[in-house]
Amino acid sequence: MSMNTNTNNEVYLVSVTNIEYEVDNKELPTELEFQVPASLIDDENVDESILHSVEEQIGMVTGRCFRSCSIEKKKIDSNVSINTSSDELTIGEANEILSKLSGEHCDAETANNARAKSGWEGVSSYTSKAYGTPESEPAEQGIRDLLTDLQHTCEALDLDFNSLLERATRDYEFFKAHSIE
């Protein structure tokens, strides 16, 4: 591998579209977007290094091999926000908001705040592992990716994800309506 001359702040914003899988499954995503630290990319073989990252990302997100895809890449400074909408909440912003919530189940009002904080701690732990430095990533993306991986977890454990999601939604609605511990 050649010497890498990229700075710590540079990343490649990678957009993968038209993903075709080796198996037909309409539930698999046909588009993905993610960042790759430029420090992990071989300067002399950028396209090959990006393709390797795409293969890993598609495998991690879907658990499947793909046949073909279209790849666009753009090198950016990671200190610059890449949000497509100024209204999009980032993981860093969500961390700031939810860190102010109480983790105590003292009364009806704080119990739901504690539940929100506990849920976010799970998302935060997941996104740190999955993305490395996720602060500028959209919070919705982190939650979506975690839910996707939880579906894979349920499949591996022979659990019905949709049934669990329905039960969780009923519990959420109950706690929200009754504001109880």
State mean pLDDT over 66-83. Answer: 72
Cα 51 from Cα 11, distance rounded (Å): 15
Confidence of residue 78 (pLDDT cuts 50, 70, 90): low
- Burial of 11 from C-beta contacts in 10 A (0-12 / 13-18 / 19+): buried
pLDDT mean over 128-147: 86
For range 46-51, the mean pLDDT: 86
Closest by alpha carbon to 151, among 55, 25, 53, 66?
A: 25
From residue 50, give the alpha-carbon distance in Å to each of 21, 36, 73, 128, 139.
18, 8, 8, 21, 24
Q: Please, are residues 78 and 134 in contact by the beta-carbon 8 Å criterion?
A: no
pLDDT, average across residues 76-80? 59
| pTM listed for this prediction | 0.52
Around 55, how many Cα atoms within 13 Å sit in the side-chain half-sphere?
A: 7
Tens-place pLDDT, residues 13-43: 888 889 998 888 788 888 888 777 887 788 8
Count H helices, E strands: the chain? 5, 3
Q: Looking at the predicted structure, is the pLDDT value of residue 159 above 90?
A: yes
